[in-house]
Structure 1
Amino acid sequence: MRAAGPDDVSEAAEVLAEAFASDELSVAALGRPRNARGALRTVFTSLLRHHYVPRGIVDLAVRDGRVVGAAAWSRPGENDLRLGEFGALAVDLVPALGWRVLPAASYAWRTDRVHPRPPHWYLYAIGVRMPGRGVGGILLDHALARAGGVPSYCEASTPDSARLYERKGFRRIGEAPTPRGCPPQPQLWHPGGRPS
């Protein structure tokens, strides 16, 4: 387990894009592009490069020198994009995604508005190359231990991810907005303290 630096952005973004390419909610948020994995790689690369690596924490699970899992977290009070970050994202995403940047921005804005108010760590994305082998759980345990007594928050885009979060001590607190036609997206809150 280690924290990502600027040189790790491409590999971490690829792990996340691979994990989310079949995620109905994520693909719908981007306007259902033909090459979902490529579009997601572009989004994750830009967000990791301009926001999560410099201002948050991106945890990497590494096995035999290869990144097998990544989790991007915002620190408490640091979830909102700064003007410079927003501009850098626009420069990266508008040429790559075209009109698809609009539904993605709308979705991000709507989900950000329903974040809990108390200070918390925010799990933006977690993905693994080998699902079902415990890598996601290890990433969560590591982050929850680091958070100490500070709460953590996330949304679950799949029933499997919701179950994993609940096994780690997160509790459902509501539902976040979703793109039209997508199933509900549970909001989950971990009160802080050691992982369950």
Structure 2
Amino acid sequence: MPVTVKTVTGATVTPEERTSAKRVLVESFLSNPEHMALWAHSSAANTALNERYIDYALDAGHELALAQVDDGAVAGVAIWVRPGEDFMPEGQRPIIFKDALDALPAGHKAFFLNDLWPVSGDMVESVLPNAEHEWWYLPMIGVSPSAQGKGVGKALLGAKVAQVAATTGGTPARGPRAIALYTESPGNIAFYNKLGFALRAHQKYDLPSGEVWENMFLSYPADAAVGAA
């Protein structure tokens, strides 16, 4: 399947592209069992969350990469945060994602507010402090279920990997020569490994439902570092 990657911002995105990006992200995560477990299997929460991700990212000035297939339809989307920037202000997630939280059962909402979000950054900070801020950061990537397994995700990530790989500098890679991302799906690790990413941190959480949710942090390249060279 031929795939073209187009990068837009809040200043350049069309209303149709914004709507398509929301649809793709919502559909992608609705079909992701690990993600849906985290969000109490609530389709309403998933929709509110992912639509808000797109609006927030564009309105905050971050990059949105759109994977367009041969008929021009958007089949994949990735949010990119530039090195030196933060995705969202500290402590603002409960406000930004209020509608998604309000769609959850009370116990699950409390889990996010009291157990997960207050400590979610500790895992990475303990091994690679400030990596999300110093490197390119990918908070969200999604591919339409009908386009999965057809090279769309590879095209989305590969475009940024190629950009980062072409940036000159020393070894190990730092700053704009590195990428940070998380995945909640163990089955995705092999896909990321093939593109040169390596697992750097891994944590498990017991959900209120009794299910277990995993949070895995990966870097490109495998030896990416933080701080002054």
| Same topology, TM > 0.5 | yes
2:31 to 17, 22, 46: 22
Q: Normalised by the size of structure 1, how large is the TM-score?
A: 0.79
- 1:123 maps onto 2:153 in alignment: no
Between 19-28 and 56-65, the greater mean CA deviation after superposition: 19-28
* Alignment correspondent of 2:203: 176
Q: How do 1:75-94 residues align onto structure 2 when only pairs under 5 Å count?
A: 75-82=82-89, 86=93, 89-90=96-97, 92-93=99-100
1:76-116 Cα offsets, whole Å, 9 max, x none, are 24335227965861554455557455444553443333233
Distance 1:23 1:178 in 2: 17
Q: Which amino acid is 1:187 matched to? A: F
Quote how far apart the aligned CAs of 1:179 are.
Answer: 4.8
Q: How far off its partner does 1:161 sit?
A: 1.6
Over aligned residues, Cα RMSD in angstroms? 2.9
- Paired residues, what number? 189
| Partner residue, 2:188 | 161
Decide which structure has the larger Cα Rg and report it: 2
The match for 1:3 is: 7
Pairing partner for 1:31 from 40, 50, 59 = 40
Structure number with higher helix proportion = 1
Q: How far apart are the structure 1 equivalents of 2:104 and 2:8?
A: 25
Deviations 1:110-147, CA, capped at 9 Å, x for gaps: 33332332411221121112111011001001122333
Matches within 5 A, 1:92-171: 92-93=99-100, 96-97=103-104, 99=106, 101-105=109-113, 106-115=115-124, 116-117=128-129, 118=131, 119-129=134-144, 130-147=147-164, 148=167, 149-171=176-198
CA contact under 8 A between 1:152 and 1:190: conserved in structure 2? yes
Q: TM-score, normalised by structure 2?
A: 0.69
Gaps of 5+ in 1: none
**Are the structure 2 counterparts of residues 83 and 98 from structure 1 closer, same or farther at C-alpha, using a change threshold of 3 Å?**
farther
Task: Indicate the percent of aligned positions where both proteins have the same amino acid.
Answer: 23
Paired AA for residue 3 in structure 1: T
